[in-house]
A and B are shown apart, each in its own frame.
Chain A
Amino acid sequence: MSRRSDRYGSFIYLFSMALMLTISVASPEAHALEVATGIGGVEEGDDRGQSAAILHLGLSSQWYSRFYIWGRSYGPVTETNGILAFAKQTEIFGSKSLTASAGFSLMANQTSISYKDYPQENSSFTNTNIGLLLGLRYNIVSTKSFALTASWDSHLFAAGDAVLLLVTGRKQILGLTAGVAL
Chain B
Amino acid sequence: MKNPCQKLLKNIVCSLLVVELLATSAPSFAGTLTLRLGPPSVGQGGANPLGLPPGPADMEFAWITESQWETSFSVSPGLLVGKRHKWGGLYTGIGGGIIISSNGVGLGPYTSFGWESSGSFLRYGIEYKQALGMVSSGLISPYAVRAGLGIVF
Contacts and interface: CB of A to CB of B under 8 A. Distances in A.
Contacts, number: 76
Interface in B38-83: 38-39, 41, 43-50, 52, 83
B128 A165 contact: no
Interface string B17-44: 0000000000000000000011101011
B141 A165 contact: no
Contacts of A100: 85, 92, 113
Interface residues of A, number: 25
B37 to A, nearest CB: 8
Interface stretch (B4-12, B117-125, B143-151): B143-151
B17 to A, nearest CB: 46
Contacts of A152: 111, 130, 132
A136 B132 CA distance: 13
B38 A172 contact: no
A99 to B, nearest CB: 10
Interface residues on chain B, size class: 20 to 34
A46 B39 contact: no
B41 A136 contact: no
B43 A45 contact: yes
A47 B92 CA distance: 24
Given A93-B85, A102-B113, A166 B147 contact: yes
B43 A167 contact: no
Interface in A25-62: 43, 45-47, 49
A166 B145 contact: yes
A136 B128 CA distance: 13
Interface of B is mostly: strand
B139 A47 contact: yes
B48 A92 contact: no
Contacts of B43: 45-47
Contacts of A7: none
Nearest to B143: A170
B89 interface: no
Contacts of B143: 154, 170, 172
A162 B130 contact: no
A168 B47 contact: yes
B146 A166 contact: yes
B49 A165 contact: yes
A131 to B, nearest CB: 12
A141 interface: no
A179 to B, nearest CB: 23
Given A166-B37, A167-B39, A168-B145, 5 more contacts: A45-B46, A47-B138, A47-B140, A136-B111, A170-B143
10 contacts: A43-B139, A47-B43, A47-B138, A47-B140, A92-B94, A136-B111, A154-B130, A166-B147, A167-B50, A170-B41
Interface of A: 43, 45-47, 49, 90, 92-93, 100, 102, 134, 136, 152, 154, 156, 159, 162, 165-170, 172, 174
